[in-house]
Amino acid sequence: MILLPDNPVLFLILLIVLDTAFGIVPLEISIIYGLSIPLTPIAIGAIGLVFTVIGALIDYLLGYAGSHFIKLSPKEEEKGKRFFYKYGSWALFLARMIPFFPSKPVSIIAGGMRYSVAHFSFFTGLGAFLRFYLEAKILQPYYLNNADKTEMLVQKAHKYITDPAGYGTTIMLVVLGIGAYYLLVMHRGNS
């Protein structure tokens, strides 16, 4: 592999953290790259679990810090916390498990609602492990049959990582997700 010939596992970790915390790289690129190293699906799942949790904690901390600047009424805050404590564990698990689910807003909201860091890490990690493992198992036969094409895909992802023009989409999705949460959970029923 041309990208990081000396330490490809570090590059895999970078891909996972960039996807989780900033949404720059599609997760499937990380999985295909892990298969090209070659790693087993269980190893990809374990690496995905650890570094997805680390990346998600960045978003959690953003939400935690942001809650000091965005003031909600006590009624809105209590309503949001009740909703998140009731459905938050499932939301965190599904956000990491389901492809194309906007997980960053869920992590930011968890931080803003002061959701338990232990619960946050557990459910985020469980969903991440299952997704990485299952997708690696599904993509492994494809990779083995099309190694040249997938290597070109990984190289395009590397080029995309270094281009900051793609960051606007991530910011827009985070703002829309938090706005939807406020409108659907916090603001509804306050009249």
Domain membership of residue 168 (yes or no) is yes
Q: What is the 3-state secondary structure (H, E, C) of the chain?
A: CCCCCCCHHHHHHHHHHHHHHHCCCCHHHHHHHHHHCCCCHHHHHHHHHHHHHHHHHHHHHHHHHHCCCCCCCHHHHHHHHHHHHHHHHHHHHHHHHCCCCCHHHHHHHHHHCCCCHHHHHHHHHHHHHHHHHHHHHHHHHHHHHCHHHHHHHHHHHHHHHCCHHHHHHHHHHHHHHHHHHHHHHHCCCCC
**N-terminal to C-terminal alpha carbon distance within the chain:** 59
Is the model's pLDDT at 191 over the cut of 60? no
**Arithmetic mean of pLDDT, 48-53:** 92
* pTM score: 0.72
The answer to whether residues 48 and 139 touch, using CB atoms and an 8 Å cutoff, is: no
How many structural domains are present in the chain? 1
Domain membership of residue 34 (yes or no) is yes
Place of tokens 């869920």: 106
The answer to whether residues 178 and 41 touch, using CB atoms and an 8 Å cutoff, is: no
Domain membership of residue 130 (yes or no) is yes
Please write the tens of the pLDDT for every residue from 62-110.
888 888 777 777 887 788 788 888 888 888 898 888 877 778 888 888 8
Here the tokens at position 114 are 């002061």
Please write the tens of the pLDDT for every residue from 131-145.
999 999 988 887 777
Domain membership of residue 3 (yes or no) is no
Q: Distance between CA 123 and CA 154 in Å, rounded? A: 29
Predicted local confidence at residue 95, as pLDDT = 86
Domain membership of residue 20 (yes or no) is yes
Among 100, 76, 96, CA closest to 173: 100
Predicted local confidence at residue 143, as pLDDT = 73
Domain membership of residue 191 (yes or no) is no
Q: Distance between CA 16 and CA 11 in Å, rounded? A: 9
The answer to whether residues 190 and 45 touch, using CB atoms and an 8 Å cutoff, is: no
Determine the structural domain holding residue 13 and report its residue range. 8-186
Of residues 175 and 31, more confidence is placed in 31
Is the model's pLDDT at 60 over the cut of 50? yes
Is the model's pLDDT at 190 over the cut of 90? no
